[in-house]
Amino acid sequence: MAIKLFATDVDGTLTDAGMYYSESGEELKKFNTRDGMGLKLIQAEGVKTAIITSEDTQIVSRRAKKLGVDFLFQGKRPKLETISELCQKLGITMGEVAYIGDDINDFDLLCAAGIKACPADAVKKIAEIPNIIRLQKKGGEGAVREFIEIIFEKNLI
């Protein structure tokens, strides 16, 4: 089945899971530009993109806007419920969703996604999900791009 929606977590996936603070208390996150290009490449193939995170920050809002991500979900709502509702709106199934996540709050969504991946440094419970693609790159080091390249290599679009 072809992928119609590519969704990603943020902390530990698009970033290295670090929480950086300036002397003035400003929060900072490091994003990898190759991940951003990967999202652009998959969008060019007609695949919708989504960022879903438990955090709620302007940093992520700005990054999503810069990348032209189709859907941004921030906050404490269960991720599987959120993406399931989006699938209903788009008229697609969970089998047509690709998702990458790294921690326990991604577990249910990863289990339900048609194709799933985790960065090399994902927590053990995530890395042990059946049929998950364990990537070679760590979060924030191009793991999202690596997953997208695998999707292209396997002709899953």
Q: What is the pLDDT of residues 99-149, one digit of tens each?
A: 999 999 999 999 999 999 999 999 999 999 999 999 999 999 999 999 999
Cα–Cα dist 3/113, whole Å: 10
What's the mean pLDDT when you consider all of the chain? 96
CATH number of the domain that residue 33 is part of: 3.40.50.1000
**Using one digit for the tens of pLDDT, what is the confidence trace for 79-103?**
999 999 999 999 999 999 999 999 9
Q: Across the chain, how many H-helices and E-strands are there?
A: 6, 8
Cα–Cα dist 60/66, whole Å: 10
Taking the model in full, what pTM does it have? 0.96
Sign of the C-alpha dihedral computed for residues 55, 57, 59 and 60 taken in this order: positive
Overall domain count for the chain: 1
Residue 1 scores a pLDDT above 90? no
The residue segments making up the domain with residue 119 are 5-153
